[in-house]
Structure 1
Amino acid sequence: MSSPLTLTHQRPTEPIEPGQLRRVCGLFVTGVTVITTGTEGREVGTTVNSFTSVSLDPPLVLFCLHKQSRLHESLRETGGFAVNFLAAQQEPLARSFAGKRAAAFDGVAHHRGADGVPVLSEALAHLTCRTVDEYPGGDHTIILGEVVGIGIPEPRQDPLIFFEGTLGTLPGGQPVR
């Protein structure tokens, strides 16, 4: 027998509290990415879990970026970005790029994608993208990109996930395949 659903907000005329929304959305398991962009010597990145595939034809993806993010200026300068899917052992890297201060690329294995944007060399996988459009989304900007390159390094690694405000791995460290 399943547990009854507890509703904490039932009246459509009441505003949704940001903390409640964060708590409920935190129950949706997401992968963890670091979005990277920038020119040689001016690489920037930020940890993002608001990433999704939009279309296969044409190949489109999107992510949401806080309006105060350090990436906005570099994204507009370069016109492109990389989506780096993090592996389970990259939790320290996720935390480093999640900070308010710019994370340094010093000591972080990376290379340039075919389009020139920085790619994290030890990521689970990556997509390089050309920015197609930006849309307002409350306190975030929705960035739409066309995928122009992909990479899956060998050997295959377990993913880093985000659930209930915590970074971690899938139960037993085994990915669902």
Structure 2
Amino acid sequence: MTGDRGAAPVETRALREVCGRYPTGVAVVTCRGADGEGPVGVTVNSFTSVSLDPALVLFCMHRDSRALTAVEKAGAFAVNILAADQAALCRAFARRDTADFGGLPHGAGATGSPVLGDALAFLDCRLHTTFPGGDHTIVVGEVVDLGLLREEQPLTYFRSGHPRLEVLG
């Protein structure tokens, strides 16, 4: 470790490699599409709880993302926490083009945002605020509804893969 604050910026690939050593959960953020478009969804692993009172959560999304524009226009979104058996769903929503909701079981949450029927759990949120964060935007939502949909291990992300957690006792 160095304390040199005048150091050159880190390389993107190196940052990705180091941050890839930190295991995270995986979620799909969904919202209503604008102007008659179908629902929009995107995979995130940058989701976390912010506050219990008021109930706030956040995720980060690339500032040029079409899904970010949809979330801002809708003023609401749902965070669908994925289960260990949903790696294919994770990959479908990780593509640049939004995955097709056609055959995907989902319903409208309290805000009208799509809630994925097979998710592990969900949080339905009103858009609270956004903050710039480099090439991403930090999106904060106020939770207005939530639920546990099934009992299963969560989908994890570690070193570009989806290892299963070892469940103790």
TM-score, normalising length from structure 1? 0.87
Deviates more, 1:37-46 or 1:63-72: 37-46
Q: Once the 2 structures are TM-superposed, how far is the Cα of residue 10 of structure 1 from its aligned partner?
A: 7.2
1:47 aligns with 2:61: no
Q: Once the 2 structures are TM-superposed, how far is the Cα of residue 81 of structure 1 from its aligned partner?
A: 0.2
- Aligned pairs (5 A) from 1:94-105: 94-105=90-101
Structure 1: stretches of 5+ with no match in the other structure: 1-6
**Which runs of at least 4 in structure 1 moved beyond 6 Å after TM superposition?**
none
1:35 is matched with 29
Deviates more, 1:40-49 or 1:83-92: 40-49
Structure 2: stretches of 5+ with no match in the other structure: none
1:3 is matched with none
1:159 aligns with 2:154: yes
1:24 aligns with 2:21: no
Query: C-alpha distance in 2, partners of 1:81/1:56?
Result: 18
1:64-111, Cα deviation, whole Å (9 max, x unpaired): 010121212221221000000000111100000000112100111101
Query: C-alpha distance in 1, partners of 2:145/2:56?
Result: 12
Query: C-alpha distance in 2, partners of 1:30/1:76?
Result: 25
124, 134, 138: which is aligned to 1:128? 124
Secondary structure in 1 matching 2:111:
coil
Query: C-alpha distance in 2, partners of 1:25/1:102?
Result: 25
Q: Which has the larger radius of gyration?
A: 1
TM-score, normalising length from structure 2? 0.91
1:90 aligns with 2:86: yes
- Aligned pairs (5 A) from 1:109-148: 109-148=105-144
Distance 1:24 1:127, change over 3 A: same
Distance 1:121 1:41, change over 3 A: farther
1:116-157, Cα deviation, whole Å (9 max, x unpaired): 110001101000000011110010010010010001013x11
Distance 1:105 1:96, change over 3 A: same
